[in-house]
Structure 1
Amino acid sequence: MTTVADTAAAGSIAARLERLPQSRWHVKVRFMIGAVTFFEAFDQLLAASALPVLTEEWNLSTGQATFAVTAASIGMLIGALLAGSLGDRIGRVRTVALGVGVTAIASLAVAFSWNIETFALFRFVQGLGIGGVVPVAATYINEIARSDKRGRFVLIYEMIFPAGLAAASLVAVWVVPNFGWRAMFVIGAVPVILAALLPRTVTESPRWLLARGRTEEAERALADIEAQVSRATGDVLPAPAATDHRVEEDVTRGRLRELFVGRYLRRTVIVSALWFVAYYVNHGISTWLPSLYTKNFGLDLTTALVYTLLSNVTGLIGTFVVAMFIDRIGRRPALVAALGGTVLTLGVLALAGATSGLQVAIFASATTFFLYAINAGLYLYSPELYPTRNRAKGAAFGGLWNRLGVILGPVVVGGILGAGGSLKLVFAQLAGVALIGAIVALFAVETKGKTLEQLNS
């Protein structure tokens, strides 16, 4: 069944959202969703902080340690697909709240695990929640943002994720030695409070409600948002623009196979490849950097941690820079430039021979400047490419490919190092993968300045 999503009496949903000025309501929503994303990032790194202690406490082999780390990644891969379907079926806010609840409860369960098998099992369940929350949350943020400022709006929000990663590392330095690894997972259960508060404080996406044929609910949700924005600004809202944002919406449930037909096939192939490349290179570097600093260059642990933290800082800067310019220059030029920068920094490092820890730290930090910009840009770009009925599925499908990159990148780098390969080869192959990504990005569809309806009508 197809119907015209027409709320002409009060202006279309899209046109009314487009005319909303920035207000405290937007800040509140980004804070609530951002807090969720912060803790999801925090929880993602918990195993890494606990692993050194676990290895000694439970006398783990290398294989068991790898099993403990990858269990969550496999859960995230599956969770991304499950949450995409849920996000399009039961709503963005409810899906995010459900994912946060699963993550938090599983974190508490991990704190009480008694062997590596139960640890890995609970981490797998935790991964289901983590993998699903971030792409669906990004979808929601996309759907409430104005088209002319959507890039900056979404990417400033996306800075929360790398901040959560950095916070997990910093907190672990103090908590694990003083209170043990279990305490980190107890902290990771705190977001269960957010899971309860989210549906009560964040209005469901009017675009999603309309696409599901729930026109009256969409109208009420948007009227509530408009009232909050009007109170926050203390002014009468401007009239919606005369531009017709109406679009035919299929109010039946979207299907995964629709991502692979017509114009969406090209979009899905390109964005999937970009997700894989970005996370393959990112985790191929980040997973092994601390070990390279200590084992290959003989640096002490404190220096290694400082160098690693430097990479996180430059990554945050890269995300901020792309947020400031992506609405002006466009998604495709930004992605091509960031991938090109990644190729350049890794290529120079490979040619230079990676002869010292400081040299690696400088070029690796320059690389993360570009990589974090790519990763954040993809969380903006992916939801833009799909209609409302399939937007969460489309965004979450990228999560599957980034999880594959997360798993394969470190495995390939570890295989090269384990076989006695040189650091030149490590960085050269990462540069080669990034080059493929830069070429693929040249064929990406540009979405700058267009409403989500215009991009998918």
Structure 2
Amino acid sequence: MRSINATEVVNSARLNRFHYLLVFWCSFIMMFDGYDLVIYGSVLPHVMSQWSLTPGEAGMLGASSMVGMMCGAVTLGTLADRLGRRRIILFCVALFSVAALANAFATGPTSFATCRFLTGAGLGGVVPNLVTLLKEMSPGSCRNRLINLMLSFFAVGGLLSGLAGIYLIPAFGWQSPFYIAGVSLLALPLLYKTLPESVAYLLHRDHQGEVAGVLRRINPQHLPAGEVKYVRAPDELGAAGHTSMGALFGDGRALSTLMLWLGFGMCMLMVYGLNTWLPKLMTQGGYPLGSSIVFLVVMNLGSIIGTLISGVCADRWGCKATLVVFFALAGVSISMLGLRPDASLLYGLLLVAGGTTVGCLSVVHTLAADLYPTHVRATGVSMAAAIGRCGAVAGPLLGGLLMSLGLAFEHNFMVFALPAVVAVFAVLLVARQPARQILSVPSL
């Protein structure tokens, strides 16, 4: 019986209908991730007014979804290495869809915070597994670009949430955007029917029949003769005695793991802090509420462009160099927002700020997936996302603190730019991983 390296089969595949469908579903889910999280920034002024919330209370309410994401990434995200990517993704989609829809029926801050926490838990569990699934099923020649294309739909969702805030809330009330959030529930039957399990997980469980079936869909040109057994490359096998968590710090990865977590956290602080508080900060600066929500839309439009550009840059320059450049641009553009520039420069800075912060968020996911071997990849990406959620929790809280302190308009944006400086140094300390050579497996 011949042994065939399944990784080689995946890497040598050409893009086909299987990959397009996989990217479509991952992007669809990612779009609702962006929509469900960013929508709070649009409803925030209305919720604060209706329930007479202080800035600190509003910040705590915004942080509830981020705490949920952190819990979801630690629990649901890491379970995928044992239960499978597909099962966890389906469960998480059901969870965040129902919870987001339930937000429309919240009667006060407590029920609203509970629904936001559960929404965040589902989103926190699903995103690392989308990245892992796409990385393990994509051809090697375009893997980073496909992952970044998928992650760019976070910004598409954010853009749609801003449009919902502009057009739906004045006509139907702040609850109306949450009805749209429940639409993702309708996709579950199709997801159940078409979403595949990852080859890496199936190999880990030695489900040879299912592996062969999935590989035929991934690479129709792969037509082995005779009886074969699919195996993993030697560098993808788990080290003896290493637990999943222990492997994150083994083989000289301790400093890189810690710095990855720090960079992840700083990135999320900027993304979720600005998406939560930008309309309110701009309103405080003298801009009308309608224009302030438009600024949120422009920033998320920049996020779409920036994420696509960052994917191309990561393929050409590598993840580290791309992150350093993008974090530096993020710090400069965010700090300049506080200078009250004229309209054209303001919109330009918002495009750059959105493009670089969310562009960094997509590339840092890819860096995390590159840092760890297959047998702990879902755990590694999920833990990076989970620890990074500390920054996502801090973002809304930081905005509430700044509003309470009553700082000068320009100082608010200088504070939001500081995490970009920290992130530059953190990324520089992540060790460059040697390119893994895919070894051919001899016939048995």
The TM-score normalised by the length of structure 1 is 0.85
Could you tell me which of 147, 151, 159 is aligned with 2:144? Answer: 151
**2:422 alignment partner, one of 433, 436, 449:** 436
Give the distance between the partners of 2:189 and 2:239, measured in 1 at CA: 31
Mapped pair 1:384 → 2:377: no
How many residues are aligned here?
433
After TM superposition, give the deviation of residue 120 of structure 1 in Å. 1.5
Paired position in structure 1 for 2:293: 305
**Deviation of residue 150 (structure 1)?**
1.6
Q: Offset at 1:137? A: 1.0
Per-residue CA distance 1:179-233 (angstroms, 9 max, x = gap): 333333232222223334324212211112223xx22x1x3334223333456xx
Label 1:140 to 1:447 Cα distance change in 2 as closer, same or farther (>3 A).
Answer: farther
Aligned residues of 1:100 and 1:194 also touching (Cα < 8 A): no
- Structure 1 residues 29 and 448, CA gap change in structure 2 (3 angstroms): farther
What amino acid sits opposite 1:87 in the alignment?
A
Would the alpha carbon gap of residues 149 and 439 (structure 1) be closer, same or farther in structure 2, given more than 3 Å must change?
same
Q: Relative to 1, partners in 2 of residues 1:344 and 1:450: Cα closer, same or farther, differing over 3 Å?
A: farther
Counterparts of residues 24-63 of structure 1 (less than 5 Å): 24-63=17-56
- Deviation digits for residues 234-269 of structure 1, max 9, x if unmatched? x66699xxxx93333359994324323442312311
Q: Any conservation in 2 of the 1:146–1:451 contact (CA below 8 Å)?
A: no
- SS of the residue corresponding to residue 11 of structure 1 reads strand
Q: Identify the residue that residue 413 of structure 2 maps to in structure 1.
A: 427
| 1:289 alignment counterpart | 278
For the Cα contact (< 8 Å) 2:56–2:400, is it kept in 1?
no
1:22 aligns with 2:19: no
Residue-by-residue CA offset, 1:56-86 (whole Å, 9 max, x unaligned) = 4444454543343222121111111112221
Quote the Cα distance in structure 1 between the aligned partners of 2:183 and 2:295. 30
Q: Secondary structure at the match of 2:238?
A: strand
Correspondent of 1:266 among 252, 255, 271: 255
Equivalent AA in structure 1 for residue 234 of structure 2: R
> Pick from 98, 104, 107: which aligns with 1:105?
98
- Match among 210, 223, 245 for residue 212 of structure 2: 223
Change (3 A) 1:312 1:47: closer
Stretch moving more, 14-23 or 193-202: 193-202
User: Aligned in 2, Cα 1:176/1:432: closer, same or farther, shift over 3 Å?
Assistant: closer
Deviation at residue 42 of structure 1 after TM alignment: 1.6
Structural RMSD (CA) = 3.0
Instruction: Measure, in 2, the Cα distance between the counterparts of 1:253 and 1:133.
Output: 25
Q: Residues of 1 paired with 2:166 and 2:147: CA distance?
A: 30
Q: Specify the code of the residue in structure 1 equivalent to 2:395.
A: G
Whole-Å Cα distance in 2 between the matches of residues 121 and 236 of structure 1? 49
SS of equivalent residue, structure 1 residue 355:
coil
- Residue deviations 1:372-405 (CA, integer Å, cap 9, x gap): 2211101212122222232112111122233221
Give unpaired runs (5+ residues) of structure 1: 1-7
> Take 1:318 and 1:28, find their aligned partners in 2: how far apart are those partners?
24
Structure 1 pair 274–230 and aligned structure 2 pair: CA distance change class (3 A): closer
1:171: how far off? 2.5
Query: Residue deviations 1:280-303, cap 9 Å, x none?
Result: 23334343322232221x222333
1:416 to partner: Cα distance: 4.0
Counterpart contact for 1:97–1:194, Cα < 8 Å? no
Q: Which amino acid aligns with 1:132?
A: G
Corresponding residue of 1:326: 314
Show the counterpart of 1:3: none
The aligned residue for residue 196 of structure 2 is 203
Query: C-alpha distance in 2, partners of 1:431/1:333?
Result: 19
Structure 2: any 5+ residue segments left out of the alignment? 226-231
For 2:434 and 2:321, how far apart are their aligned partners in 1? 10
Comparing 363-372 with 424-433, which one deviates more in the overlay?
A: 424-433
The aligned residue for residue 4 of structure 1 is none
C-alpha distance in 1 between matches for 2:126 and 2:438: 21
Q: CA deviation at 1:129?
A: 0.5
- 2-side partners of 1:60 and 1:163: how far apart? 29
1:20 is displaced (CA, Å) by 0.8
The alpha-carbon deviation at position 55 of structure 1 amounts to 3.6
Q: Secondary structure at the match of 2:248?
A: helix
- Give the AA of the match of 2:299: S
The question of whether the paired residues in 2 share the 8 Å contact of 1:36 and 1:194 is answered with: no
1:336 is aligned to 324
